[in-house]
Structure 1
Amino acid sequence: MSVLVFEGFLSTPEMLALLEPASVVQRLMDFEAALARAQGRCGVIPLPAAQAIASLCRVELYDVPALIQASVPAGSLALPVVQKLAETVGLFDPVAAGYVHWGSTSQDMVDSAMALLLRRSLGLIEDDLLQLLGHLLDLAEAHPAVPVLARTLMQPAQVSSLRHRLLNWIQPLLRSAQALRETADAALQLQYGGAVGTLGMLGDQAEAVSAALAAELKLPQAAMPWHTQRDRMVRLGAELGILCGALGKLARDLAWLCQPEIAEMAERQPEPGSPATANASEPGRGFKRSASSVMPHKNNPVALLRALAAAERAPQRVAGLLASMPQELERGLGGWHAELAEMSGLLLHAHGATRALAQGAQGLRVFPGRMREQIEAQQELVFAEALTLCLIPVMGREPAHRLVEQLCHQVAPGGDGLLALAQSRCQEDVRLRGRIDAGTLAAHFNIDAAAAQADRRLDAVLVAARQHWAALSDHPHW
């Protein structure tokens, strides 16, 4: 059984199609066609030979499974592709066959092809990432000053705002979108150096051919070949891993908030009687859900499951990239090959997680009433710190802390909340009687004021986030 059965589940049809063998082989052929045209235009090889080679760089002419099988003993997919291309060209033009892959090396071919694939892959990821960000920004703008129960170490802590929580999800995703563009600009360059990186076989024509090849492939020319300079490519992979981590955090938070026991948010439910009711929501409208086979009351959040599983695979991939960096001298032994496999896996995971969350966020429902209920159920314990700060000027730090701790321990289900207990103590305790105004005390327990204060601090952050998103959306990069 192919492991891709399990890897593919964590990705998307588009990314799987882009990384399937025929697509990869076509990108290798694209390099060879561009190389022949560039060398023909520069007079390094005869122009008729260049035309003959380029005309046969079409994957549909070749047995792709046979090429994949031949890559195992060859140690690289490039070698059987070049060999079969030369054989095919030789059937029509034996002279031209001698110019196939002229002055190049297998890593030139594969690295440049990978740069082309990465450019397309990152475009797919960014499209869904910007869609996800747009939905989250819309929610943030539509729900000002909505109180939520903030939790630390999985325990009720204080009152925050929904906007604060949303921006906590949005900000790292925006940074990832920007960082992926910047690291890709540095990493996705033409690889062209020949056997040891010097383009020695081309002599004085080396620079002209390199420039022409870069123009053909629309890839920036590198200052020098990067056969074993893998830092920029690994940095790009690390940014993909960071994106997966940010997506995993969002998926985990949503899974927690959407579970029925919490129910502060929820996935959009399909209409009763629709074909989607039994298994999943309609494509692109809410998180895909799956009914349990034996427990029909359950709706399993499969999209969140997929996003989390994809995110949990990313750290190992990034670690693999880092481990592959120490490559020997001018050409590495094994490290480069390992890097290719890890990078492909990261692309599969990153797009799978991004797509799952982008589709789900479109139908995400928010329940402000339930959010308030969660706060009120804490019997005002979430204002313990505010009460302490109110008492410190009157009692001093340690006495105030001890008193609030005692009051918190007196709060019991069905009994008085922290505010009522504090009001009673202010009347009974000689240290406090007449020194704390009842209105001032109550103001420290105001749920709406706490949410509004959280939002006020974020007004500029939200505006800047929307502007950043608009700038990315209005200026396509790939």
Structure 2
Amino acid sequence: MADPFDWGLLEPAGQSGMAASDDAVLEALVDVERALVLAWADLDGTDGEALAALLDSSAVDRDALLAGVRADGVPVVALVEQLRVQAGEQAANVHRGATSQDIVDSALMLVSRGALGGARHQLAEAGNALGALAQRERMTPYVARTLSQAAEPTTLGAAMAAWLDAVSSSVAAVDAAAFPVQLGGAVGTGEAFERLSGRADAPWALRASLAEHLGLADPGRAWHTDRAPVLAVAAAAAQVCATAGRVGRDLALGARDGTLLPDSGGASSAMPHKRNPVDAVILTANGLRAAGLIATLHAAALSSDARPAGEWHAEWQAWRGLLRLAAESAAVLAHAVSHLVVSAPAATASTAPASDVAVAAAGTVVDAAVARFVALTPETERPQ
């Protein structure tokens, strides 16, 4: 087995992004092939469980798979060859009528569902912590800034409520995301499914069954040339990164005067007195990285033909990269706000006391933000 290329040396929160790792993608690819076997069995009225059980991602020769990826430009050809060997006499029933894009797109939707599901859990953790912080600091005087300059007195709780509102928006975006299965065959018409089954309804029946076995949505169509589903998932992931990055920027700025500091960590190799806001740095960096990845996906959506030469392939790492950053950012955000030390003296040192009206207005903002977050999250996601 070849050594892993990226094991986290330059990815400080890399462990949190493992939901989008090569291992996760490989398992998802095999999951789709298993589910396709089961979908065909549903269509034929046979039992596909025994064959599906033979398809084992842990038994895949990864060096041979990587050689195949380089030779074929896609991972599915070499993978299917190995899965058919595993299937033995039932080899012809593996990957029956499908094309590489069916498998890759469906697998990446599986990975998206898992990664964004994990991110949502972490966003809920962050929101719970932010809600508590906003309530605790709802009367702590704080100077709001516009265009980098001091604007008007408010409260630190109101500033934190704004972060919570952004977290709630990201939760809503993830909740609204759809993860559709892709199944259309070589050029999206499903011709092979009709031909192999002798049934005109085979493309629709197989797609619905495949979606059910994978727990993905059935779009009722092949979307291989319409990348709107990819862009929608990417937008949700990018929003998570932007939300976390926005909070990260404020945390980094708050660390300059000691108002907002992590409770530990952040060493410097040259200046031992420093306590760097590492979480804030990671959040900001991830937010900046996400912009280029979503730009790649938007550019790749301007493709051509039933399968373009390069645009679809350009999506893979950008799509997976956004999922990774979203998972990392949500986890780091939850850690950052749960380990935040607030210094009220530093917050109020250069701040004129807020008027009773300003404090009351800030409190209204806090209450509204907390209520919105609570409405978006079930009781099981809140502290007991």
Q: TM-score surpassing 0.5?
A: yes
Does 72-81 or 230-239 show the bigger shift?
A: 230-239
Q: Cα deviations across residues 337-357 of structure 1 (Å, max 9, x unaligned)?
A: 111110111112122222222
Q: Cα deviations across residues 302-325 of structure 1 (Å, max 9, x unaligned)?
A: 222211211110100010010000
Deviation at 1:134, TM superposition (A): 0.9
**Residue of structure 1 in register with 2:247 after alignment:** 250
- 1:65 alignment partner AA: D
3-state DSSP of counterpart to 2:276: strand
Alignment CA distance shift 1:5-1:13 (3 Å): closer
Alignment CA distance shift 1:466-1:100 (3 Å): closer
Deviation at 1:10, TM superposition (A): 4.6
- 1:264 alignment partner AA: T
- For 2:242 and 2:125, the matched residues in 1 are separated by 18
Whether 2:180 is the aligned partner of 1:189: answer yes
Alignment CA distance shift 1:98-1:155 (3 Å): same
Alignment CA distance shift 1:68-1:7 (3 Å): farther
3-state DSSP of counterpart to 1:145: coil
* Contact kept in structure 1, 2:164 and 2:370, CA below 8 Å: no
* Contact kept in structure 2, 1:150 and 1:157, CA below 8 Å: yes
- For 2:281 and 2:166, the matched residues in 1 are separated by 21
**Residue of structure 1 in register with 2:30 after alignment:** 29
Whether 2:226 is the aligned partner of 1:229: answer yes
Deviation at 1:332, TM superposition (A): 2.4
Whether 2:95 is the aligned partner of 1:101: answer yes
Alignment CA distance shift 1:74-1:457 (3 Å): same
Normalising by structure 2, what TM-score? 0.90
**Residue of structure 2 in register with 1:4 after alignment:** 6
Whether 2:209 is the aligned partner of 1:212: answer yes
**Residue of structure 2 in register with 1:77 after alignment:** 75
- 1:177 alignment partner AA: V
**1:12-411 correspondence runs (5 A):** 12-16=14-18, 18-43=19-44, 47=47, 50-51=48-49, 53-90=51-88, 93=89, 96-182=90-176, 184-185=177-178, 188-203=179-194, 204=199, 205-259=202-256, 262-269=257-264, 289-376=265-352
Normalising by structure 1, what TM-score? 0.73
Deviation at 1:363, TM superposition (A): 2.0
* Contact kept in structure 1, 2:16 and 2:327, CA below 8 Å: no
- For 2:366 and 2:162, the matched residues in 1 are separated by 13
- Count of aligned pairs: 374
3-state DSSP of counterpart to 1:149: strand
* Contact kept in structure 1, 2:103 and 2:182, CA below 8 Å: yes
Structure with the bigger RCO (C-alpha within 8 Å, sep 6+) is 2
- 1:127 alignment partner AA: H
3-state DSSP of counterpart to 2:65: helix
Q: Percent identity?
A: 29
In structure 1, the gaps of 5 or more residues are 270-288, 377-445
Deviation at 1:23, TM superposition (A): 2.7
* Contact kept in structure 1, 2:116 and 2:326, CA below 8 Å: no
Alignment CA distance shift 1:469-1:206 (3 Å): closer
3-state DSSP of counterpart to 2:266: strand
Q: Cα deviations across residues 192-229 of structure 1 (Å, max 9, x unaligned)?
A: 11112121122223333222222211212112111111
Does 118-127 or 357-366 show the bigger shift?
A: 357-366
Alignment CA distance shift 1:316-1:466 (3 Å): closer
3-state DSSP of counterpart to 2:302: coil
* Contact kept in structure 1, 2:138 and 2:366, CA below 8 Å: no
- 2:289 alignment partner AA: R
- 1:470 alignment partner AA: T
- For 1:472 and 1:338, the matched residues in 2 are separated by 41
C-alpha RMSD of the superposition: 2.4
* Contact kept in structure 2, 1:129 and 1:358, CA below 8 Å: yes
- For 2:266 and 2:141, the matched residues in 1 are separated by 31
Deviation at 1:35, TM superposition (A): 1.0
Select the residue among 358, 369, 384 that pairs with 1:462. Answer: 369
